[in-house]
Structure 1
Amino acid sequence: MTDAASVLEPLAARYASWLRLSEESTADTSDEDPDTVVLMPMVLRIERAEPPRRTALLEAAATAALAVCLDERCAPGGEWHEAVHAWTSGRIRKVTRRARGSHWNAVQSLPGITVNSGDAEVRALLPMRVADMPRQLTRLQISGSELEHDEPDAVPEGVPTLWLNPGVEMSAGKAAAQVGHASMILAALLHADGLGAELERWSESGLRCAVRAPGSDSWQRWCPRGDPETAWSEHRIATVRDAGFTEVDPGTVTVLAQWPR
């Protein structure tokens, strides 16, 4: 895993510039060819008869996205390194699609990692161009990933917590992408700060994450307005600030990722 973590170095290098994204800024995609956009597809298993709990699904998504990046195949020279490094060197876009039954089984053959969390399953796939998406993915729907909010248990000791902004409503699919960003940024900053031993322990424990929604007062207290770099260096809180492609306004802080102290 130690060698694979180097694939996350571009994230840490660009973290400070992401934090300067103002709430008034916009994501300029005018020069993009939609077919050449590279993203990580994430498939959420949502069966009609027995849908998973929303919290469990988001926790599986956070772990799955990071698990792909820290897989030994992402180490320099590995078969996944080129695809993942090229992706982390740009915008770490993700797209979530829902699947059930035979469609869920079909995506298991695509390069990626499936993670189970409680009653939930998510498969994060190797980043790819939109134009290269196989039929197993393109036939899956992006919309319709709504799940009822649930009341999770207390955060287990020693597990990083991904706090969802309580003032921003997101679909389960959007939230899954955001917590996937959060777990990756958290790992990238640990690696950049020379905390490889902590990252290694996290990996050995299965990269488990807790996803929670704090009260408004707690969010206001924790959100590092104006000084996110100090928030990380002193409090081990990393910030996910959205570019505003879907659902939320550009510059919106969607998740605070808190490493246990």
Structure 2
Amino acid sequence: MKQAIVARTDIGMGKGKLAAQVAHASLSAYEDASPKDRRAWKGSGQKKIVLKASGEEELFRLADAAEREGLPHAIVRDAGHTQLDPGTVTALAVGPGPERIVDKVTGDLSLF
């Protein structure tokens, strides 16, 4: 079991903002997973990776691919309280799900 979190590189998020957006994405997708997948992921160490996306369009393309594969996923939109405008799409989490299926969706991306 694995989760991949994909964050945009084109909007200049600071390290703290990036960490917060990744956390929002991870938790939101976890909540979208089935109870069985949540237990399996938690029981296997909660494996996760953070990957780079070039922009909003790429995140939505990946979200569509995750949907087609039946994977839990979540797009994050910033509230706009600090660095970004309200509604800015910042990150996507894919999974938790079987590692080979998560990799099918996100395996071509670079590590953050």
**TM-score after normalising by structure 2:** 0.70
Residue 167 in structure 1 maps to residue 1 in structure 2 = no
Q: How much does 1:168 deviate?
A: 1.4
Instruction: Report the counterpart of residue 223 of structure 1 in structure 2.
Output: 60
Cα distance in 2 for partners of 1:231, 1:248 equals 26
The CA distance in 1 between the partners of 2:54 and 2:66, in whole Å, is 21
1:209 and 2:48 are equivalent in the alignment: yes
RMSD: 2.3
Which residues of structure 2 form unaligned runs of 5+? Answer: 102-112
**TM-score, structure 1 normalization:** 0.33
- How many residue pairs are counted as aligned between the two chains? 94
What per-residue deviation string (whole Å, max 9, x for no partner) do you get for residues 18-65 of structure 1? xxxxxxxxxxxxxxxxxxxxxxxxxxxxxxxxxxxxxxxxxxxxxxxx
CA contact 2:7–2:52 (8 Å) conserved in 1: yes
**3-state DSSP of counterpart to 1:245:** coil
Q: 1:255 aligns with which of 80, 83, 91?
A: 91
SS for the counterpart of 1:173 is helix
Q: Give the match's secondary structure for 2:82.
A: coil
Residue identity matched to 1:223: F
C-alpha distance in structure 1 between counterparts of 2:37 and 2:77, whole Å: 24
**Shift, 1:160, TM fit:** 1.0
Name the structure 2 match of 1:83: none
Show the 5 A alignment for 1:177-196: 177-190=20-33, 195-196=34-35
Shift of residue 232, structure 1, vs aligned partner: 6.0
Checking the alignment, whether the CA contact within 8 Å between 2:7 and 2:92 is kept in structure 1 is yes
Matches within 5 A, 1:239-254: 239-254=75-90
Please list every run of 5 or more consecutive structure 1 residues that lacks an aligned counterpart in the other structure: 1-157
Q: Relative to 1, partners in 2 of residues 1:232 and 1:213: Cα closer, same or farther, differing over 3 Å?
A: closer
Q: Which structure carries more strand by proportion?
A: 2
**CA contact under 8 A between 1:178 and 1:240: conserved in structure 2?**
yes
Determine if contact 1:186/1:257 at 8 Å carries over to the other structure.
yes
Pairwise mapping of residues 1-261 of structure 1 onto structure 2 (< 5 A)? Answer: 158-190=1-33, 195-216=34-55, 220-223=57-60, 233-235=67-69, 236=71, 237-259=73-95, 260=97, 261=101
Structure 1 stretches of 4+ with a deviation exceeding 4 A read 230-233
**SS of 2:2's equivalent?**
coil
Larger Rg: 1 or 2? 1
Q: Is residue 164–residue 214 contact of structure 1 (8 Å, CA) maintained in 2?
A: yes
